[in-house]
Every structure is written in C-alpha cells, then in structure tokens.
Amino acid sequence: MLTTIAPASIWDLRRSAKRRLPRMLFDYVEGGAEDERTISENVAAFSKIKLLPHRLRDVSKRTTDVDLLGTRIAAPLVVGPTGLNGAIWPNGDTALATAAKRAGVPFALSTASNERLEAVAKVGGELWFQLYVVHRQLAERLVDRAANAGYAALVLTVDVPVNGKRERDLRNGFRIPFRYSARTILDALTHPRWTASLLMNGTPTLANLAADNATTLQAQNALLRREMDASFDWDDLARLRDLWPRRLLVKGVCNPEDIARCFAIGADAVVISNHGGRQLDDAVSSLEILPQVRHLGPVLIDGGVRRGSDIVKAVALGAKAVLLGRSVLYGLAASGEAGASKALSILFEEIDRTLALLGCPAASRLDESFIAATALLPATAQGCSDQPPGQ
C-alpha cells in the first residue's frame, strides 16, 4: 500500500502548489517585477547571514513566543496581507485567518481580500487589517469598518503609487474576473482539482469593495489594476494616525529617513518591505536595511522567508517579527487551511530546532551575539534563484 509522504519543508509545499494551480495562478503567487532580481535577492540576503552558536547552555526547554506590540504571540511571525486568496483556495482568507489563530500568531487581511472584513473577523484571534488607499472616502469607510469589526491593528501599505511591471501577469493576461482564452482554458483543464473548485465556488470578487455606487465601482477597477492614490503623502499619514484609534503599522518603507519620519508621526511600528519583489526590481532587501534602523522603533520585515532559521536571523538582527507571504500561500494553494497550518508548523519546528542548535532557549533572547560578525558587514549583491538546489 502506497503512503503519502508529508511535506518536510516550505519547498515541498511549493512543489505541491505548482502541481495544483494553473500556471496563470502559480505565476501570480510566484512572480515579481521585471527581471525578478529583487525576489532572488530577498532570499539570498538570508543566506549571507551566518549564525554563531553558543555551546554548553541548557536548551532542554525552549520557547518560541515573543511580545509583539504589547501582545504575546506564539512565534515572531505574522501571516501577512495577500490579495485574491479566494482564487488560490475557496474562502482562502478565512482559511489563512483560521490557521493563524490556531498557531497563535496574527493574521493581516488585505483590502484586496475575497471575503468581507466583517466575515473574516468572526474567526477571531489577533487580526490586523491592511489598507490600500485607492479613494480617500472609501479608505475612511474601510478604516471605520475595521475598527467596528474589532481589528487590533491597521497596516497601511505605502509602496504602490503605481503597479509594478509584473511581466508574468502581463503575459498570462491575469486579472479578476478571469479572462478566458484557448490557452487558459487548456491550462485549467490540465489542473482539474483547481478547476472543479472554481466551478463549485465561482469566480472570486473584491468583497470589501462590493457596492453599487459609482465611487466604489471606480475604486474596484483601480484596485484590480493596482492604481492607488499616488498623491497620498505625509500629511495624509498624520490624518490617518488621528483617525485610527489602535495600533498603526506602515508597510513598504525601506529608506531610513522615511522610517524615522513614520515614528515621528506616531506609527507604532514599521514593516520594512519591498513588496516581496513585486513592485520595484533591484530594490534593497529588508534584511539589509534592518541593522541600520532597528534602534528607531519597533520594526518588522518581510520578503524572502523560506525557513525558520530565516526568522531566527531576522529577530537576532533586531526585527520584532517577520510577515509571511509566499511561504504560507504555498501551503494554502496545496491544501487550503490544512496546508497553511502545515506551513506554519514547519516554520515553528524549524525555529525551535534552530534555537536549540544555537544554544538559545527562547526566541525573545535572540540578539547579535548569535550572528557571526562578518555577516554584519556590508556585502556585495550576489545572484540567487528563488528555488532550492536542484529545482
């Protein structure tokens, strides 16, 4: 009798996701801007950081939990905001929120989610809402709705004044609602599990923007094209700070001057991010900037995380937590909520194992003493494929 081998790594989940999704959808998850060098550099940045273990320390009992902005979470990670998850798996946003709640970590819901923010809020747990400012009045309504629904934090994304040139999506004609051609139909037919799911559940929509007034219809079209309000500036951020009553994070900032200004305006935290390499190619990686700005205030990072050891490195270098994107989406694409939970459990186990091998009994005690000094020096960029050896 044949037995199914459980995925041992995020890379295993990636392979399963690639088998299940049509190329158009997999390319949407996997792809980035232009030549996709930023995606590769995000991954390569972690490989350049070398760990420095301490020996003869009692690590018989270990804890991965940390304090994040006044809340105790089970590990220094957040399921980050990603759009169109319903195209990857039915009710994908709820599936991710449920997996995050079960794991004891925050989940950030995207403005571009396929389920209403009020519906996802019913899952419970530590919920954050990510805001794209497409239309000012609509943004204010979304902020009010998120506050009324009980979201604990607002994550303002500021790195999309225009859409990055995502050439995979352009070649595939990817958009919501889907455009069908002979090529995409053939692709769908060769991925029957995904196709059957789509037929049973219907084409996903931008549920948070669904309304019958012209302003919202215009905003839906703009969000689909990722055409945000390019005039949103520092004064607008200050007004949003006054409007939102809870924790405010600014995501998509990588310039130290900008990060300092975010804190001066009153942001509770900053997420150093190049949007997973999906906006500006050759943008600096979050990990490279982290040591320069960690003293300014609470900073989180995203981009390139594929291993629990990556998370350990980020925390040792000063990050309060990392936001996950593709790593957990591979799990969602492979088998829904169960796959997302598996992705998180793999990363949890790898964090715990890395702590033991480092001689560090708690994630909260990680610092630069666990990083080789040479790894802290500026390094020249080197190319790296966003795949493990042999892929």
For residue 217, what pLDDT band results from cuts at 50, 70 and 90? low
Q: Check pLDDT > 50 for residue 209.
A: yes
Average pLDDT, the chain: 91
Residue in 128, 162, 151 with CA at minimum distance from that of residue 321: 128
Sign of the CA dihedral with 179 first, then 183, 187, and 192 last: positive
Note the pLDDT tens digit of each residue in 251-305. 999 999 999 999 999 999 999 999 999 999 999 999 999 999 999 999 999 999 9
Mean pLDDT value of segment 329-333 = 98
Handedness of CA 190, 193, 196, 201 (dihedral sign): negative
Locate 176 and state its tokens.
């919501």
Find out whether 323 and 271 touch, Cβ atoms under 8 Å.
Answer: yes
Confidence of residue 211 (pLDDT cuts 50, 70, 90): low
Q: In this structure, how many other beta carbons lie within 10 angstroms of the beta carbon of residue 336?
A: 21
Query: Can you give the pLDDT at residue 212?
Result: 41
Average pLDDT rounded to a whole number, residues 143-155: 97
Confidence of residue 380 (pLDDT cuts 50, 70, 90): very low
Whether the predicted pLDDT of 385 surpasses 70: no
Question: Is it the case that residue 382 has pLDDT exceeding 90?
Answer: no
**204 or 126, which is more confident:** 126
Residue 379's pLDDT band (cuts 50, 70, 90) = very low
Inform me whether the pLDDT recorded for 390 exceeds 50: no
Single-letter code of the amino acid located at 184: T
What is the predicted pLDDT for the residue at 137? 87
- Render pLDDT for 232-243 as a digit per residue (tens, 0 to 9): 999 999 999 999
pLDDT tier for residue 195 given thresholds of 50, 70 and 90: confident
Phi/psi for 231 (5° steps) reads -90, -5
| pLDDT score recorded for residue 347 | 98
Phi-psi region of 150 (alpha: psi -120 to 50; beta: other; left: phi over 0): left
What is the architecture of the domain spanning 17-376?
Answer: Alpha-Beta Barrel (3.20)
pLDDT tens sequence across 73-110: 999 999 999 999 999 999 999 999 999 999 999 999 99
CA atoms within 13 A on the CB side of 121: 15
- Average pLDDT for 138-150: 95
- The predicted pLDDT at position 5 comes to 80
In SS3 terms, the chain reads as: CCCCCCCCCHHHHHHHHHHHCCHHHHHHHHCCCCCCHHHHHHHHHHHHCCECCCCCCCCCCCECCEEECCEEECCCEEECCCCCHHHHCCCHHHHHHHHHHHHCCCEEECCCCCCCHHHHHCCCCCEEEEECCCCHHHHHHHHHHHHHHCCCEEEEECCCCCCCCCHHHHHHCCCCCCCCCHHHHHHHHCCHHHHHHHHHHCCCCCHHHCCCCHHHHHHHHHHHCCCCCCCCCHHHHHHHHHHCCCEEEEEEECCHHHHHHHHHHCCCEEEECCHHHCCCCCCCCHHHHHHHHCCCCCEEEECCCCCHHHHHHHHHCCCCCEEECHHHHHHHHHHHHHHHHHHHHHHHHHHHHHHHHHCCCEHHHCCHHHECHHHHCCCCCCCCCCCCCCC
pLDDT at 189: 81
pLDDT reported for residue 2: 54
Domain ranges across the chain: 17-376
CB atoms within 10 A of CB 192: 10
Model confidence at 227, pLDDT cuts 50, 70, 90, reads: low
Average pLDDT over residues 112-128: 97
Residue 51 pLDDT exceeds 70: yes
Burial 65-103 (b: 16+ CB within 10 A, else e): ebebbeeebbbbbbbbbbbbbbbbbbbbbbbbbbbbbbb
357 contacts: CB under 8 Å, gap ≥ 6: 53
pLDDT for the residue numbered 320: 98
Residue 384: pLDDT band with limits 50, 70, 90 = very low
8-22, 300-314, 373-387: least confident range:
373-387
Examine the residue annotation and report whether 191 is marked as an active-site residue of this protein: no
Catalytic residue among 54, 135, 191, 275: 275
Structure confidence at residue 106 (pLDDT): 98
Query: Each residue of 337-349: pLDDT tens digit?
Result: 999 999 999 999 9
CA dihedral 158, 249, 331, 358 (to 10 degrees): 120
Stretch 223-228: mean pLDDT, rounded? 64
